[in-house]
Amino acid sequence: FSPVSPKPPVHGELNYQKVYNQIADILEDNDWDDGSLGPIFTRLAWHASGTYDKATNTGGSNGATMRFAPESEHAANAGLSVARAKLEPIKAANPEITYSDLWSLAGVVSIQEMGGPTIPWIPGRRDAEAIAATPDGRLPDATLGSKHLRDIFYRMGFDDREIVALSGAHALGRCHPKNSGFDGPWTTSPTLVTNGYFKELLEKKWVEKKWKGPKQYVDKETGDLMMLPTDFVLLQDKSFRPWVEKYAADEKLWFNDFASAFHKLQELGVPRNGSEKVYHFKRTDEQQ
Ligand code: CCH
């Protein structure tokens, strides 16, 4: 018995640049947070893939099992139902695309449209049934330290440099007390992909927030920006910190490393034979 649905998707026939453009069209949303769904789509693509375990080849972006409880109710996934619901009209307009490809593509669209690097993308993910869902606890816990980060990311097959590169996605979006208990954005431009996360981490003075909520840091000067305990350890760990410094000084280097690491993240758990077409999508502002 295979938990993956037997019917192969009809990829290859879909015009993925067209789907890219349709997703790009719905990103701006003035009723949402900082005006863009890009950050939450990026988080959806990451949480759908970040369940991967290379030892057992389970989890990963193939499957889109977050459609089902209990995975949809895992604490780490709190709030992501909004992202899934906002993508339903795109699925309805393109019934041939699998949810797993759609969520992954939405992450790529968001990063590119918010000014980030081009992320090479390959379709062909297949949706699975609820039985293929991974147990709770595969995604990182923001209250813990570097050992935990390594346990989680080494399990997926990432190294220290890639852990730091991926963490730079926290230039985007914010924490919501009703989702995670934490509060606030990491940078002053939460809808732009920049190396601002690394710059803020290095340049600001971070102090523990005085509140009843979970332990987090705020910048001493304004109190407007935040860091999670797992963000803060990137400064303290002697193998992580040099990458924080390099990425803060060189946005191009970070863009390159982030593009590779995010592509790798999106490929976790997806069977490939090496002959697949790799897409490099044009940003909507390059198409005019
Ligand atoms: Fe993250 N992230 N993330 N994160 N994350 C949160 C929000 C975003 C951790 C914890 C949290 C990555 C790595 C980690 C995004 C992308 C990535 C939140 C707040 C927590 C908590 C959720 C809320 O309250 O809504 C931890 C721990 C790690 C450990 O490494 C990686 C990797 C990525 C992508 C590559 C994005 C984007 C957000 C903002 C979402 C939004 O709604 O604004």
Same domain membership, residue 106 and residue 38:
yes
Whether 83 is in a domain gets the answer yes
Number of domains in the chain: 2
Same domain membership, residue 197 and residue 100:
no
- Please report the pLDDT score of residue 6 as a whole number: 55
Same domain membership, residue 200 and residue 122:
no
Supply the CATH number for residue 211's domain. Answer: 1.10.420.10
Whether 249 is in a domain gets the answer yes
Query: Do the Cβ atoms of 260 and 50 come closer than 8 Å?
Result: no
Query: Do the Cβ atoms of 60 and 30 come closer than 8 Å?
Result: no
Whether 240 is in a domain gets the answer yes
Same domain membership, residue 125 and residue 40:
yes
Supply the range of the domain harboring residue 110.
16-138+263-286
Same domain membership, residue 239 and residue 267:
no
Nearest to 107 by CA among 121, 92, 97, 89: 121
DSSP string spanning 143-184?
TS-HHHHHHHHHHHT--HHHHHHHHGGGGS-EE-TTTTS--E
What is the chain's pLDDT, residue by residue, as a tens digit (288 residues)?
A: 556 665 555 555 799 999 999 999 999 999 999 999 999 999 999 999 999 999 999 999 999 999 999 999 999 999 999 999 999 999 999 999 999 999 999 999 999 999 999 999 999 999 999 999 999 999 999 999 999 999 999 999 999 999 999 999 999 999 999 999 999 999 999 999 999 999 999 999 999 999 999 999 999 999 999 999 999 999 999 999 999 999 999 999 999 999 999 999 999 999 999 999 999 999 999 997
Whether 1 is in a domain gets the answer no
Same domain membership, residue 94 and residue 152:
no
Whether 238 is in a domain gets the answer yes
Supply the CATH number for residue 66's domain. Answer: 1.10.520.10
DSSP letter at 278 equals P
Determine whether 93 is exposed, middle or buried from the number of CB atoms within 10 Å of its CB (0-12, 13-18, 19+).
exposed
Looking at the CA of residue 261, tell me the nearest atom of ligand 1: 35
Same domain membership, residue 282 and residue 199:
no
| ipTM of predicted complex | 0.99
Query: Do the Cβ atoms of 45 and 108 come closer than 8 Å?
Result: yes
CA atoms of 273 and 286, how far apart (whole Å): 31
Same domain membership, residue 114 and residue 87:
yes
Nearest to 113 by CA among 179, 41, 180: 41
Whether 10 is in a domain gets the answer no
Same domain membership, residue 277 and residue 222:
no
Looking at the CA of residue 174, tell me the nearest atom of ligand 1: 43
- Please report the pLDDT score of residue 98 as a whole number: 98
Same domain membership, residue 134 and residue 20:
yes
- Please report the pLDDT score of residue 233 as a whole number: 98
- According to DSSP, the β-strands at 217-219 and 226-227 are antiparallel
Q: List residues near ligand 1 (CB under 6 A).
A: 39-40, 42-43, 46, 79, 140, 142, 149, 166-167, 169-170, 172-176, 179-180, 182, 228, 230, 262
- Please report the pLDDT score of residue 13 as a whole number: 76
Residues labelled as active-site residues: 47, 186
Same domain membership, residue 73 and residue 30:
yes
Same domain membership, residue 40 and residue 115:
yes
Alpha helix positions (H), the chain: 16-27, 38-49, 81-93, 99-113, 146-156, 160-167, 196-203, 229-236, 241-249, 251-267
- Please report the pLDDT score of residue 85 as a whole number: 98
- Please report the pLDDT score of residue 288 as a whole number: 76
Instruction: Give, for ligand 1, the residue of 175, 187, 192, 262 to mutate: max count of ligand atoms closer than 8 Å to Cβ.
Output: 175
Whether 4 is in a domain gets the answer no
Whether 44 is in a domain gets the answer yes
Query: Rounded to the nearest whole angstrom, what is the distance from the C-alpha of residue 265 to the centroid of ligand 1?
Result: 14
